[in-house]
Amino acid sequence: MVLSKFPIVSRNLPLVNLAIATTALGFQVAVLYPWHLTIDDSHKNLIKKMEEHERLLKGGGGGVIGDTAIIDNRAANPNQQPQKPPSLTTINSTVPT
């Protein structure tokens, strides 16, 4: 066996393994777990914003989607410029945090 030629390595292999495992666990606890919590909070906020945006669109949020008033208005006045939908900053400013 190869390790029998290197007695120092074969004796210290469990210590090396312990050092690597401890370093990996420390990295997971110190870096990855707090990062996971930050990503989880961001994901929850994104879901809330998407639900609010969907509620605004379904509830008549300025005639963006689901409102036939814009289509009827264009049919009655074909030369009229189309209305611009509200900008994302306008929608975000109405979302409670």
Q: Domain range spanning residue 74?
A: 3-94
Say how many domains are in the chain. Answer: 1
pLDDT at 59: 78
DSSP string computed for 46-90: HHHHHHHHHHHHHTTSSSSSS--HHHHHHHH-TTSPPPPPPPHHH
Write down the pTM of the prediction.
0.42
Residue ranges of the chain with per-residue pLDDT less than 50: 63-64, 66-67
pLDDT of 16-40, one tens digit each?
A: 999 999 999 999 999 999 999 999 9
pLDDT at 39: 93
Give me the count of residues in the chain.
97
